[in-house]
């Protein structure tokens, strides 16, 4: 990575600058709407919590919020996930570091450890820049992700599945090659690159509403909108989104926290609330628990189907999320709820995403605490909510196994 001392400040303005840097290398992915999913999300859910048979108090009524959902399709990003943004930003920033090229940086290349999406992203960014990439991947990584990483010309080295095991192998590679580490999420350059997701989403919804028929409530297309991106300068992007926010909130998945913390930065000063979504299984909700305890949880061991969210939140990421202008809340969901949301995204939105991408919609649909909060804070007007579909790297076989029973 570029030396920390050379990194720009962690602000919205720096996210805008990052967007300028990566613009030639990434897609400005579309935003989708779907009236059926809006209706389902805005319908009270049946509460499964068992009632105390000795209690005479009536069961609480389910929350009844109103949602207008805007899906940011990073499953259509290069390498199939948002991770391309952070990887390209990190590599381009590294090339700007004084003395890096003179010290043989291009020949030594870069190294990282990743379960798949960051692996592919860094492999592509390194190939584009003309340098080698050494990628440490857990042995349990999905075969399509391993194949794709190798397809971009990377040298893949396998390791154990825990963060400690992966980091140890990466350290050995660095000692042997002199390659520069590009961590998957815990670095300012990665965070700023990922934050461009939030920047684009805010701008795209504002433009879509401005161009929608005035008779359509909330500016949502009656047919379900596929937003065709336009070209703007970074100053226009920043000013348009910050001056008149069209979104009330953004919900994004949280693993290491690079995406979520970057989106928090992208929303600074806009009035847009940002929420995180995590799986519950085996303590995968470490961000939610860490924020409640006021202390970052350093280790996670879970085999949630949302394999991209199995890592603990990074140090820089947690500082942003727990800061004064940090995340507005983090909520968690069960494995069955993730699968139900995944099915809806396929059947109703007609998009194929990996399980990690379905976690934000699962929170919107099933987390009663979140739904109650929206009902109380939004009132009858409801909220326009951006939903980040973080990636689509899943094989047909793996997708089928999720719904085999």
Going by C-alpha positions, the residue among 274, 384, 374 that lies closest to residue 323 is: 274
CB 32 within 8 A of CB 351: yes
Class of residue 98 by CB neighbours under 10 A (exposed 0-12, middle 13-18, buried 19+): exposed
Query: What is the secondary structure of 149-163 as a DSSP string?
Result: HHHTT-EEEEE-SSH
In this structure, what are the phi and psi dihedrals at residue 113, rounded to the nearest 5 degrees? -125, 135
Q: Give CA–CA dist 57/54, Å, rounded.
A: 9
Structure token pair of residue 385? 């909510």
Q: Which of 14, 72, 83, 114 is catalytic?
A: 83
Q: Which of 14, 114, 115, 357 is catalytic?
A: 115
Structure token pair of residue 112? 């990282």
DSSP 273: E
Going by C-alpha positions, the residue among 281, 385, 332, 377 that lies closest to residue 63 is: 377
Per the DSSP assignment, residues forming a β-bridge with 68 are 384
Q: Give CA–CA dist 96/216, Å, rounded.
A: 47
Q: Give CA–CA dist 21/91, Å, rounded.
A: 10
DSSP 61: P
Residues belonging to the chain: 405
Tell me, yes or no, if 83 is annotated catalytic: yes
Count helices and strands (H / E) in the chain: 17, 10
CB 80 within 8 A of CB 392: yes
Non-local CB neighbours of 404 within 8 Å, separated by 6+ positions: none
Going by C-alpha positions, the residue among 23, 71, 17 that lies closest to residue 252 is: 71
CA angle 165/312/358 to nearest 5° reads: 115
Q: Give CA–CA dist 394/387, Å, rounded.
A: 19
Which residue intervals of 23-110 are DSSP H helices?
35-41, 83-96, 105-108
Query: What is the secondary structure of 224-252 as a DSSP string?
Result: --B-------HHHHHHHHHHS---SEEEE
Give the catalytic positions in this structure. Answer: 83, 115
């Amino acid at each position: 990575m570029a030396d920390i001392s050379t990194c720009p400040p962690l602000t919205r303005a720096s996210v805008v600058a990052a967007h300028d840097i990566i613009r030639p290398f990434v897609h400005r992915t579309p935003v989708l709407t779907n009236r059926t999913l809006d209706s389902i999300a805005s319908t009270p859910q049946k509460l499964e919590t068992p009632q105390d048979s000795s209690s005479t108090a009536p069961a609480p009524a389910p929350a009844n919020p109103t949602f207008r959902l805007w899906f940011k399709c990073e499953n259509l990003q290069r390498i199939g996930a948002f991770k391309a943004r952070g990887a390209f930003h990190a590599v381009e920033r590294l090339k700007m570091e004084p003395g890096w090229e003179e010290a043989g940086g291009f020949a030594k290349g870069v190294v990282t450890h990743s379960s798949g999406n960051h692996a592919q992203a860094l492999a592509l960014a390194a190939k584009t820049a003309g340098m080698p990439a050494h990628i440490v991947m857990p042995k349990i990584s999905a075969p399509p992700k391993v194949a794709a990483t190798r397809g971009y010309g990377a040298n893949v080295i396998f390791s154990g599945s825990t963060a400690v095991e992966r980091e140890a192998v990466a350290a050995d590679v660095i000692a042997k090659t002199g390659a520069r580490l590009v961590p998957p999420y815990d670095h300012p350059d990665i965070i700023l690159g990922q934050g461009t997701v939030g920047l684009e989403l805010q701008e795209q919804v504002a433009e879509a509403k401005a161009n929608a028929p005035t008779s359509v409530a909330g500016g949502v297309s009656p047919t379900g909108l596929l937003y065709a991106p336009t070209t703007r300068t970074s100053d226009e992007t920043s000013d348009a989104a910050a001056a008149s926010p069209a979104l009330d909130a953004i919900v994004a998945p949280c693993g290491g926290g690079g995406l979520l913390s970057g989106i928090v930065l992208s929303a600074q000063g806009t009035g847009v609330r940002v929420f995180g979504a995590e799986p519950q299984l085996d303590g995968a909700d470490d961000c939610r628990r860490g924020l409640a305890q006021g202390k970052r949880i350093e280790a996670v061991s879970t085999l949630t189907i949302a394999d991209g969210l199995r890592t603990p939140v990074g140090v820089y990421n947690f500082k942003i999320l727990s800061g004064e202008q940090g995340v507005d809340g983090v909520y968690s969901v069960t494995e069955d709820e993730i699968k139900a949301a995944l099915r809806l995204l396929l059947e109703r939105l007609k998009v194929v995403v990996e399980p990690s991408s379905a976690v934000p919609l699962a929170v919107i649909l099933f987390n009663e605490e979140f739904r109650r909060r929206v009902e109380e804070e939004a009132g009858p007007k409801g909220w326009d909510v951006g939903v980040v579909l973080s990636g689509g790297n899943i094989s047909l076989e793996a997708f089928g196994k999720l719904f085999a029973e």
